[in-house]
Amino acid sequence: MIPQTTFKKLALLNRYYKITQFYSFLKNTAFKGAIVISIFATILLGLEYFFLDFNYLLNTLVATYSAEILLSFFLLSETVLGLVPPEIFIAWASKSATPWLFLFVLATLSYLGGIIAYFIGNRLFLIPAVKNHIENKIAVHITNLRKWGGLFVFIGAMLPIPHSIVSVACGMIKYSFKHYLLWALFRYVRFVIYAFIIFQIF
């Protein structure tokens, strides 16, 4: 039987999340994420049907560039503010001889990119002008991270908030690195979910 004190803690936690509008933020972000995925899939299918042969383009990409070059570029993208949507690389992985192995590599690189971004944020205090500029740019993310902690890292890992920005914010406020590593593991879950969709398309 669950102790009464546990129920009280859960009730207080639930009340806190309501007061800080966490549930509203989560619902809105998930809704926007669903819209982004739908638009992305619709555009891809539309371009594929009317204008481009994406399968040909992806096969050309595989034939033209080595996996090392593309994976290195992906790591850079996942470290520096999510320059390229990871869905494009997941589509590329679908054309490899071992798509699920490549997906695991991509998820791992995304995870590592977040860790690098965390340490970049952690060391920004050495350059005050840059720190202040970035702090102003991602002030909303920093505020949300301070309010919701690991749950906001989870949102950054799973939903379309740039994972690297959340990671930089974690480093800047010196959020527990151990806890960051645990919550960021949900990045793997996101890649698997997206792969089930994108692998069916390509």
**Residue 42: per-residue pLDDT:** 76
Is residue 3 included in any domain, yes or no?
no
Is residue 140 included in any domain, yes or no?
yes
Side-chain-side CA neighbours of 119 within 13 Å: the count stands at 6
Averaged in consecutive runs of 10 residues, what is the pLDDT profile of the chain (202 residues)? Answer: 69 86 84 75 67 63 76 90 80 86 95 95 85 86 90 87 90 94 95 87 66
Distance of CA 12 to the CA centre of its chain: 29
Domain that holds residue 141: 9-201
Report the alpha-carbon distance of residue 6 to residue 148 in Å, rounded: 19
**Residue 62: per-residue pLDDT:** 65
Q: What is the total count of domains within the chain?
A: 1
**Residue 34: per-residue pLDDT:** 76
Is residue 127 included in any domain, yes or no?
yes
**Residue 51: per-residue pLDDT:** 61
Report the alpha-carbon distance of residue 78 to residue 162 in Å, rounded: 8
**What predicted TM-score, i.e. pTM, was given to this entire model?**
0.83
Beta-carbon neighbour count of residue 129 at 10 Å?
Answer: 8
**Residue 101: per-residue pLDDT:** 94
Side-chain-side CA neighbours of 59 within 13 Å: the count stands at 6
AA identity, residue 79: T
Is residue 180 included in any domain, yes or no?
yes
Is residue 3 within a helix (H) or strand (E), and if so which, with residue range? none
Q: Are 202 and 95 in contact (CB under 8 A)?
A: yes
Report the alpha-carbon distance of residue 194 to residue 202 in Å, rounded: 12
DSSP assignment of 97-121 equals: SSHHHHHHHHHHHHHHHHHHHHHHH
* Tokens of residue 169, six digits: 């914010």
Is residue 1 included in any domain, yes or no?
no
Is residue 74 included in any domain, yes or no?
yes
**Residue 27: per-residue pLDDT:** 84
